[in-house]
Structure 1
Amino acid sequence: METLELLYEASERPRFGLPPALATAYGGELGFTLPCVYANFVTSIDGVVALGPEYQSSGSAISGREPADRFVMGLLRASADAVLIGAGTLRATPRHRWTPDHVCPEAAVDFAKFRRDLGRATQPELVVVTASGDLPTEHPALQSGALVATTVDGACRLDGRLPPACTLLTVGEGSLRMVDVLAALQVHGHMAVLTEGGPHLIGNLIGEGLLDELFLTTSPVLAGRADISRPGLVAGLELLPNRPAWVDLISVRRRESFLFLRYRLRIPRVPVGPQSALAN
């Protein structure tokens, strides 16, 4: 496993107690104040997190499959009760599994020990949110089992189509509010929720004041933009100049020219308007 160099870390952070091999590779400890919703993204220097709908596995292209980035992805998944993604992310990565060992198999034994030490299930539960119910039900991640959060109409569309290993969770009428999705996840015992997007899902979480922390890998690459949409971290939500979302830097780690940043968001919880409802 690649070792990260710790450049800065805020004092008095919660600590899970990582197994020694994981603590060495991460360059220190990791922990969250529960309940916690935290996001993990990789971005190019010019702020691109997704290359466009015609490109699969944008994150791998942006990171260059950097081993240290894949280790951090695995570690953050290993820390979670559930991994929350939107339908667009599921469609964009047709062979992916949202498990720690899928992205970093060399740390699988240590990830498993870490989860046992935390009293967690063998793997974090995958949660897919879709208002419309438009999902690729043949996706291997769904075939392995997932919690699908949707609306009444979405549930009707998915009726009889989901793999037997999946559980359907109806949490909305015509639209989905993330506050309702997260409340349902807490009922299922999921207090540490990692989201890996996409940008519209992050926009919904920020819009409702529900995102607590952000892990952002800055990859030393320029992606560029031309005639196709290449979104940044947040889509579907305008913040500046009237609603700035300030953050506090918690830690900085480095592996060669890659930076691994951790932020705490200062966003106050706000009433949910029509613009924050998930529509895909």
Structure 2
Amino acid sequence: MAGPDTGADAPGTQARPLVPLYEAPQLPRWSLPPALTELYGSDLGFAEPVIYSNFVASLDGVVALGPEHPSSGSAISGNEATDRFVMGLLRACADAVVIGAGTLRASPHHLWTPQHVYPAATADFAELRHRRRRAPDPELVVVTASGDLPTEHPALHADAVILTTAENARNLHARLPATCTVLAAGRGPRLPISNVIDAVRARGHGVVLTEGGPHLIGQLIRERLLDELFLTTAPVLAGRANTIRPGLIAGLELLPAHRRTADLVSARRRASYLFLRYQISHPLPPAQPANPT
């Protein structure tokens, strides 16, 4: 992910305007507040409904540094302020932000709001949401099949929707703050990602950002549910040796048997960082032979 960490912007760090390198002409455009348009390099918008994700990756394709560094996005990005601005902007556009319980546990002080990652644009993010007639913050949706949640996490005390199994829902109702809404999205031991998205849609959310990790992205890709990917390529080499350092997708193998492609629809630059936007292609599954009569 263009990743949550334990705090907000370091004092004095300011994003710099992105330089547009390429933009597909058919992209939807919402009217952003002028300060956001200046920083992003143009307006930004989505065709609804949409599910999009946001990651930062090293040049060698690492998006997470392993279990000993559970919240490693800012280490990969170098805490680049412009990456944090883009993360905040993508949150400001969203009706809901979907994360897994592992992401919540790995970021013990984080709030999944636009202003948390880029406070300098707080007023402009609020203006964008006002123009869009949205709530002040996107709704945080936490997905957990196990029910293992840190009940003291500040994000759970600031309103959150918990999607879990029917078996865990009653127990979580008793354990979590009253600010949380707990919903059953399936019966254990796993939650089908299609059930999760159905539950999010049922709450009226057409524009959905996922900041879940590679396993959640793998599930969305498997079920042909992810529409767009925002990828920041940081000018750094992470390396791999004795720890698991995943790329964008975990828990799903595609090549060589299954080819999924993406269309580049936007490319921007800030110094040696690249900010890329892809639309994911989802070919239809092979037709099943008809049952003999």
CA shift, 1:159, in A, is 3.4
Q: Does 1:260 align with 2:275?
A: yes
2:244 is the counterpart of 1:229: yes
Query: Which stretches of structure 1, 4 residues or longer, exceed 2 Å deviation after superposition?
Result: 268-271
| Identity score, percent | 63
- 2:252 maps to a residue whose letter is L
* 8 A Cα contact 1:151 1:176, kept in partner: yes
Number of the residue aligned with 2:223: 208
Among 90, 108, 112, the alignment partner of 2:126 is 112
Please give the secondary structure, in 1, of the residue aligned with 2:126. helix
* Superposition pairs of residues 130-169 of structure 1, within 5 angstroms: 130-169=144-183
Contact kept in structure 2, 1:218 and 1:259, CA below 8 Å? yes
Contact 2:214/2:247, CA 8 A, preserved across alignment: yes
1:20 to 20, 34, 38: 34
Number of aligned positions between the proteins: 271
* Cα-to-partner distance string for 1:135-173 (whole Å, 9 max, x where unaligned): 111111112111011111232442311111010010101
2: CA distance, partners of 1:247 / 1:23: 25
Query: Does the Cα contact within 8 Å between 1:130 and 1:154 map onto a contact in 2?
Result: no
Could you give the per-residue CA deviations for residues 202-222 of structure 1, whole angstroms, max 9, x where no partner exists?
001111000000000000011
Q: Give the residue type in structure 1 aligned to 2:223.
A: E
Which has the higher mean CA deviation after the structures are superposed, 226-235 or 52-61?
Answer: 52-61
State yes or no: 1:199 paired with 2:214: yes
Larger radius of gyration: 2
**Does structure 2 retain, via aligned residues, the 8 Å contact 1:208–1:270?**
no
CA distance in 2, matches of 1:13, 1:71: 20
The one-letter code matched in structure 2 to 1:254 is: R
Kept in 2: contact 1:215–1:263 (CA 8 A): yes
Quote how far apart the aligned CAs of 1:57 are: 2.2
Looking at structure 1, the residues matched to 115 and 37 of structure 2 have their Cα atoms a distance apart, in angstroms, of 17
Distance 1:186 1:29 in 2: 25
- Given that 1:131 and 1:151 are in contact with CA atoms closer than 8 Å, whether structure 2 keeps it comes out as yes
1:181 aligned to which of 177, 183, 196: 196
- CA shift at 1:87, angstroms? 0.9
- Tell me, which stretches of 5 or more residues in structure 1 are unaligned? 272-280
Scaled by the length of structure 2, what TM-score is found? 0.90
Which residue number corresponds to residue 9 of structure 2? none
Q: 1:241 aligns with which of 256, 259, 284?
A: 256
SS in 2 for 1:55: coil
For 2:34 and 2:257, the matched residues in 1 are separated by 45
Q: TM-score, normalised to structure 1's length?
A: 0.94
Paired amino acid for 1:147:
V
Equivalent in the alignment of 1:277: none
